[in-house]
C-alpha cells in the first residue's frame, strides 16, 4: 500500500472504510468530526445529512434528515456536543451526539443582507475558545468572523472584504487553539490569518493554495491540518503542484508534511476537493471532499463519473 506524507506524519490509505447502508450515498461531504470514543461523524449533502460510524467504519446511526439543506462545517465540542454549520440554511446548530438541537444561531432560511457584516450570510464553520465562546466564519455572503458567548449572545464581529490584514475573501473555515488564538482559512486570498480572541490581527500563514479545511486537535497542539483546493481558473487548471492536497503545518505555519497535491484525481491517495478534516485518538486522518460540486470546476469538459470519492481514511504509520 502506498505511503503518503513523511516523518511523524506518514499515512497509508484505508480503502472502502465506511460501510454505508444499502442504497445510501454521501453525495459529497462538508465536514467530518470524531468524538471521544473515536466514532466518526460525516456531515454530508445526501439524503441523510449526518451519518455516524464507529472507528472500524461500521454504521451506527443517522440524523438531521430534513433539517440541513447544505452541510458545511463540523465542530466537536469538549462537552460532547456537536456544532453544525449549514451555509444553505444560514444557521449554526448545537446538537447532542444523537442529533437533538440544543441551540440555533441565525435564522433558518433567512440570510442577512449580502456583505452587510450582520450574521449570517452563508456561514461556513464554527470554533470554540478555551473559555467556551463561539466563533463563526461567515463566509460566502459576508467577509466576517462573529464571536458569541456560550448562551448565544453576539459579543463582537470583525473583518470585511479585501486583501489587507484582517480582511477576507471567503472566510471558509475557523479553528481555535488552547491558548485562545483564532485561525481563519481566508480561502481566495490563499492564506490562513491568525488573530487573538478579540479579533486583533497577529500574523498569517502563506504558501497555501485556496486553504479550505482546518483542523487542530484539542489541547496544547503544535500542528494544524489544512485542506487545500486545487486551481479552477482556466489559465492554471492544469498547472501541477497547486493541489488539491492536505498540508500539515506546525504552530508557526511551517510545513512538516503533505498528502497529494500534484493534480486532482480519483485514486486512494489523490483528492478533488478536501473540505473537512478530523483526526482520531490514534492519529488517523479522515478527510471529506466536496467532489460533486468541484468536478465541473476542475474538469469542465468531462462528464461527472458515478464513482466520485467523497471520504478518505488515512491510517497513521506508527
Domain positions in the chain are 4-316
**3-class SS string, the chain:** CCCEEECCEEEEECCCCCECCCCCCCCCEEEEEECCCCCEEEEECCCCCEEEECCCCEEEEEECCCCCCCEEEEEECCCCEEEEEECCCCEEEEEECCCCEEEEECCCCCCCCCCCCCCCCCEEEEEECCCCCEEEEECCCCCEEEEECCCCCEEEEECCECCCCCCECCEEEEEECCCCCEEEEEHHHCEEEEECCCCCEEEEECCCCCEEEEECCCCCCCEEEEEECCCCCCCCCCCCCCCCEEEEEECCCCEEEEEECCCCCCCCCCCCCEEEEEECCCCCEEEEECHHHHHHHHCCCCCCCCCCCCEEEEEECC
Would the pLDDT of 33 be above 80? Answer: yes
Residue 301's pLDDT is what?
Answer: 82
d(CA 280, CA 36) in angstroms, rounded, equals 8
For residue 33, the cross-strand partners are: 41
Q: How confident is the model at residue 213 (pLDDT cuts 50, 70, 90)?
A: very high
| Cα three-residue angle 167-255-235, rounded to 5 degrees | 60
Sheet holding 9-13: strands in order across? 4-6, 9-13, 311-316, 285-289, 274-279
Lowest mean pLDDT of 41-55, 134-148, 262-276, 290-304, name the range. Answer: 290-304
What's the rounded mean pLDDT across residues 261-287?
95
Model confidence pLDDT, tens digit, residues 2-29:
899 999 999 999 999 999 999 999 999 9
Q: How confident is the model at residue 165 (pLDDT cuts 50, 70, 90)?
A: very high
Q: Which CATH number fits domain 4-316: 2.60.40.1180, 3.30.70.380, 3.40.50.300, 2.120.10.30?
A: 2.120.10.30
Q: How confident is the model at residue 238 (pLDDT cuts 50, 70, 90)?
A: confident
The whole model's pTM is what? 0.97
d(CA 122, CA 274) in angstroms, rounded, equals 19
Residue 172's pLDDT is what?
Answer: 98
Question: How do strand 40-44 and strand 182-186 relate by DSSP bridges?
Answer: unpaired
Residue 299's pLDDT is what?
Answer: 87
Which set of grid coordinates corresponds to residue 276? 473537512
Model confidence pLDDT, tens digit, residues 100-112:
999 999 999 999 9
Amino acid at each position: 500500500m502506498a505511503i503518503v506524507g513523511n516523518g511523524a506524519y506518514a499515512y497509508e490509505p484505508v480503502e472502502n472504510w465506511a460501510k454505508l447502508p444499502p442504497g445510501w450515498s454521501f453525495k459529497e461531504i462538508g465536514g467530518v468530526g470524531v468524538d471521544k470514543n473515536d466514532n466518526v461523524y460525516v456531515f454530508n449533502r445526501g439524503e441523510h445529512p449526518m451519518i455516524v460510524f464507529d472507528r472500524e467504519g461500521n454504521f451506527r446511526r443517522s440524523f438531521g434528515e430534513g433539517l440541513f439543506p447544505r452541510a458545511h462545517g463540523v465542530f466537536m465540542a469538549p462537552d460532547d456536543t456537536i456544532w453544525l454549520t449549514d451555509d444553505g440554511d444560514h444557521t449554526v446548530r448545537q446538537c447532542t451526539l444523537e442529533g437533538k438541537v440544543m441551540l440555533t444561531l441565525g435564522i433558518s432560511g433567512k440570510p442577512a443582507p449580502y456583505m452587510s457584516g450582520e450574521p449570517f450570510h452563508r456561514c461556513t464553520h464554527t470554533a470554540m475558545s478555551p473559555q467556551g465562546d463561539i466563533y463563526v466564519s461567515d463566509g460566502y455572503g459576508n467577509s466576517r468572523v462573529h464571536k458569541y458567548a456560550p448562551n448565544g449572545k453576539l459579543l463582537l464581529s470583525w473583518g470585511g472584504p479585501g486583501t489587507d490584514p484582517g480582511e477576507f475573501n471567503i472566510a471558509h473555515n475557523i479553528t481555535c487553539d488552547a491558548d485562545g488564538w483564532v485561525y481563519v482559512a481566508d480561502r481566495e486570498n490563499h492564506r490562513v490569518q491568525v488573530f487573538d480572541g478579540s479579533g486583533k490581527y497577529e500574523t498569517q500563514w502563506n504558501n497555501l493554495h485556496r486553504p479550505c479545511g482546518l483542523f487542530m486537535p484539542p489541547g496544547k497542539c503544535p500542528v494544524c491540518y489544512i485542506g487545500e483546493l486545487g486551481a479552477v481558473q482556466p489559465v492554471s487548471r492544469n498547472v501541477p503542484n497547486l493541489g488539491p492536497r492536505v498540508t500539515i503545518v506546525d504552530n508557526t505555519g511551517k510545513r512538516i508534511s503533505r498528502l497529494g497535491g500534484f493534480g486532482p484525481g480519483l485514486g486512494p491517495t489523490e483528492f478533488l476537493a478536501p473540505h473537512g478534516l478530523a483526526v482520531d485518538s490514534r492519529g488517523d486522518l479522515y478527510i471529506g471532499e466536496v467532489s460533486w460540486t468541484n468536478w465541473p470546476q476542475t474538469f469542465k469538459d468531462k462528464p461527472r463519473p458515478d464513482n466520485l470519492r467523497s471520504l478518505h481514511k488515512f491510517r497513521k504509520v506508527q
